[in-house]
Amino acid sequence: MKKFFISGLFLVAAVLFAAITFPELTGRVVDNADLLSPEQEQKVSLQLEALESNTTDQLVVVTLKSLDGYDIADYGYQLGRHWGIGQENKDNGALLIVAPNERKVRIEVGYGLEGVLTDAKSSWIIQNIILPAFKSGEYDAGIQAGAEAIVGILMDPSEMDEAVQADPENIESLFGILFPIVAFFSIFISILPTYKKPFVSTAISIFFGFVTYSISHSVPISLFISVVVGIVAYFGKTDTGRSVTGSSSTGGYSGSSFSSGGFSSGGGSFGGGGASGSW
């Protein structure tokens, strides 16, 4: 019995401490899946080198033969930290990850770039630039165009603002995030004395207007959300005890740094920001 117990402990320890085997960081482009020709790889590498020279931001393109059974978001997060892409004091690194065998792609964004290369912009690039090319079998074109779009945003943070704001999917996602929060505050306001409702609902309306603008960077959308939130918050419940929503009234780690082929990562860190897609 003791032998079985000890064997079990070793087995559990092996599982817990099993680590992902990451590819070697050989440069700004790590094409392990052989999706790019040498000429294409050099072209992308020069774009990424120019980006770093102008901004200190680091972007690495990596193609993988396999994700080894891992979700691409988890793999990308851990790979970014393992390689330490970005400067240590800025965490300004990003990865464009392509796994053709699993038909997955991800843009992984370091802490310091999450306000510039937002989840919404990362998703827009994947859905509108990268995936259309991948679905046609043009992996090289998708990678080049995707990398170019990411570089464009990092060089000019306002790039693609209008396109992303107008994307219906992003507007729907915004409502999906805010609606449960609004519902919660409407219930909270409903238990306040009547004379306090106008002040609290106005404050919440203004707050959500600022939050929406910080996400969408769109004044019309922010004003619309602000007004809707104010109305929903103030009229959180009717006299019959029903809510507007229809429900009843009852009831650190820091990354390593690597150097290879004239390219050196700086020890940047990642927190899971970015977006994924599949085809």
Residue 137's domain is classified under what CATH number? Answer: 3.10.310.50
Beta carbons within 8 Å of 55's beta carbon, 6+ residues apart: 92, 154, 155
C-alpha atoms less than 13 angstroms from C-alpha of 225 in its C-beta half-sphere: 29
Mean per-residue pLDDT of the chain: 78
What does the pLDDT read at residue 241? 40
**Interval 102-114 mean pLDDT:** 96
Whether residue 155 is found in the same domain as residue 90: yes
pTM check: above 0.95: no
Q: Residue 178 — very low, low, confident or very high, per pLDDT cuts 50/70/90?
A: low
**Res 177 pLDDT > 80:** no
Give domain status of residue 277, yes or no.
no
**Res 149 pLDDT > 90:** yes
What does the pLDDT read at residue 208? 73
Give domain status of residue 255, yes or no.
no
To the nearest whole percent, how much of the chain has pLDDT over 90?
A: 49
CA distances from 118 to 8, 105, 267 (A): 44, 16, 21
What does the pLDDT read at residue 190? 61
Q: Which of 167, 194, 215 is the last residue of a domain?
A: 167
Strand-strand pairing, 259-260 and 263-264 = antiparallel
Whether residue 187 is found in the same domain as residue 144: no
What does the pLDDT read at residue 14? 46
Query: Residue 250 has which token pair?
Result: 């009852």
Q: Residue 254 — very low, low, confident or very high, per pLDDT cuts 50/70/90?
A: very low
**Res 109 pLDDT > 70:** yes
**Interval 61-90 mean pLDDT:** 94
**Interval 228-253 mean pLDDT:** 50
Give the separation between CA 212 and CA 217, rounded to whole angstroms: 8
Position with higher pLDDT, 242 vs 264: 264
Give domain status of residue 214, yes or no.
yes
What does the pLDDT read at residue 257? 55
What does the pLDDT read at residue 268? 81
**Res 267 pLDDT > 70:** yes
Q: Residue 200 — very low, low, confident or very high, per pLDDT cuts 50/70/90?
A: confident
Whether residue 52 is found in the same domain as residue 147: yes
**Interval 40-61 mean pLDDT:** 97
Whether residue 163 is found in the same domain as residue 42: yes
What does the pLDDT read at residue 9? 44
Q: What range does the domain containing 230 cover?
A: 171-248
